[in-house]
Each structure stands twice: as structure tokens, then as C-alpha cells.
Amino acid sequence: MERSRIGPLVRDGVLVLPPTAAEGPAPRSWIEALEALAAAHVDGLRRVLALDGGTDPVWYAALDAFGALLASRGLPAMRLREAPTRSEAGRALCDLFDEAARVEARRRPFQAADSAPEAPPALAALQAVNAARPDALFAAVPVIDPALCTGCDACLRVCPGDVLILIKDGDGAEAYDCHPAACDACGLCGEVCAASAIELATMAKGVGSIGLRSWVCDGCGARVHMPEAAGHGHGLCPVCRQGGHHKKLFQVLP
Ligand code: SF4
Ligand code: SF4
């Protein structure tokens, strides 16, 4: 028997969601539960048993989201059965298995695992499958508002998964590109955005790239870029435009 880092037990090819904190810590967020479900799916598990009807609601939210995510990629679904009481767990297990496995499934008692190995970062791997389908959903998608974005690149630099990247085409035109399959919803991009220009959408379709306009600031001489929709800043970079630093700079220059 194995146990992921957030608690669900794996027994005889069934993911058993823990009903109480004593039997397995609850996930801190639905994305963490989603990660555990994805790890199980990548390992080939297709059956889920929820015990005692007391399974943390986060698991159900994650199961709903995961079902939508699998469907949007044409991947095999996971079958869920609920056991309102422990005595009904055997029957629910039998519902999950075919006839040949029923007797074996009834024999073995539930048992907590001793160790808690790390779950693999499976969600991104699974999301990458068929991600190009037009109807593909992603667990989390960072969405930049081009009208608010100042082009500071802070979200790109802080993102641990290279979800947001700066691209440049053959003519030198720049754009922000988004690869949500690798997003783990850590929220860092939103935290560092001083312009409040970025939000995380959940269970959403991917977003297209945002074209940038680049220029050399008339005030400080720095090369900057900004979404087309945000305007050109009258030739100044956001720092010079807001703080008027360039005027002071000219005062001290010979
Ligand atoms: S939520 Fe985290 S992983 Fe996702 S885009 Fe933002 S910083 Fe990157
Ligand atoms: S979304 Fe925010 S953090 Fe990212 S480049 Fe735009 S202003 Fe900077």
C-alpha cells in the first residue's frame, strides 16, 4: 500500500480518499488534491473510493475539476464510488471492480500506510497531454490584463514553472506567451504584480499571447516594453512617467 503526501491510500488499484484527518491530512487546497488525483491517474489508477461520506469537500471539488480536465483532453475518466459506512466499503469496492477481482478486494482490510512518499508533479505532465485541443481546460491559467500591465516582467521572473515567458519573433516583435500546462497555481505572479494586472483563472482555457510594443525611454534611456493596449506612455517608461525621475536626472547632468 502506498500513500501520497496528502493522504489518499492506494489499495489494489483503488484510490481511497481518507474520511478523517487522523487517516490522512486534508489537502490544503483543491489544486493539491488535483495534483494527487493526477499522480494517481498517471500511475494508471482509474477507481476512487470515498469512505464514510465524510470525505473532505475539497476532494469532491477536485474530483469534479479533474473529471472536466480529463474530458477536455479525451483521457479516460476515473470512476467514483462512495461508501456511507465502513461496512459498505466492501460493496462499493466491488462496484469498482469486475467480477474476477471482487473476492480478492473483499478479503483485505483497510490499513493506514506508515510512510508518506512525495507525490510526483504529475498534474503538469497530464495537462500537457492533448493540451493543443481547442476545448482543453487547464487547472490554473494566469490571465494578464493588457490594459493594466506595465510590462515590468516581474511575473515572468518569479514564475517557477516558466508558465509566462517573453517571446520574440524573427522581426524582433515581442510578446508575453503563456503555457498554463506547467502552472501549479502557486499565486506568486499575482503577488508580485504591483499593477494588479494578473489573475489566476481556474479550470479555464488557455489564453493567447499578448503583443508588446518596445521603445527607448525618452527620460532615462532604458529599453522598455508594454502591451499595445496599455499605450506608449508618451515616450517615457512607467518609472519616469510616474515618478518624474528623469526631470531630476537632467538637473544633475552636466
Ligand atoms: S501561479 Fe505560479 S506557476 Fe502559475 S503562472 Fe503564476 S507564478 Fe507561475
Ligand atoms: S502582469 Fe504585472 S507583473 Fe506581469 S509584466 Fe504586467 S505589470 Fe508586470
DSSP per position, 184-240: ----HHHHH-TT--EEEEEEEE----EEEEEEE-TTT--EEEEEGGG--GGG--HHH
Does residue 29 register a pLDDT over 70? yes
Give the nearest ligand 2 atom to 176 CA. Answer: 5
Give the number of whichever ligand sits closest to the CA of residue 186: 1
Asked if the model's pLDDT at residue 55 lies above 80, the reply is no
Tell me the average pLDDT across 111-132: 68
Q: Which residue has the higher pLDDT, 98 or 230?
A: 230
Closest residue CA from atom 8 of ligand 2 = 152
pLDDT class of 233 with cuts at 50, 70, 90: low
Phi, psi of 114, deg, nearest 5: -85, -40
Residues 94-108 have pLDDT tens digits of 676 654 455 454 444
DSSP three-state, residue 101 = helix
Q: How many CB atoms are closer than 10 A to CB 193?
A: 21
User: Which of 183, 193, 198 for mutating ligand 1's site (highest number of atoms within 8 Å of CB)?
Assistant: 183
**Ligand 1 pocket check: which of 184, 198, 207 to mutate, most ligand atoms within 8 Å of Cβ?**
184
The yes/no answer to whether this complex scores an ipTM above 0.90 is: yes
> Alpha-carbon distance 120 to 216, whole Å?
45
Task: List C-alpha distances in Å: 134 to 92, 97, 137, 206.
Answer: 36, 34, 9, 9
pLDDT, tens digit, 9 for 90 and up, residues 139-198 = 999 999 999 999 999 999 999 988 999 999 888 899 999 999 999 899 999 999 999 999
Higher-pLDDT residue of 247 and 63 is: 63
Detail the DSSP E strand segments found in 102-171: 137-144, 164-168
Ligand nearest to the CA of 238: 2
Q: Does the pLDDT at position 111 exceed 90?
A: no
Mean pLDDT for all residues in the chain: 80
Domains of the chain in sequence order: 2-124 (no CATH), 136-252 (3.30.70.20)
Atom number, ligand 2, closest to the C-alpha of residue 164? 4
pLDDT at position 113, please?
40
**Model pLDDT, residue 198:** 97
The residues lining ligand 1, judged by C-beta closer than 6 Å to any ligand atom, are 140, 142, 158-161, 163-164, 183-189, 200
Calculate what percentage of the chain has a pLDDT beyond 70: 72
Residue 205 has pLDDT above 50, yes or no: yes
Other C-beta atoms lying within 10 Å of the C-beta of residue 245: 15
Under the banding of pLDDT at 50, 70 and 90, the label for residue 216 is very high
Arithmetic mean of pLDDT, 32-58: 81
86 vs 199, residue with greater confidence: 199
Residue position matching grid coordinates 490594459: 147
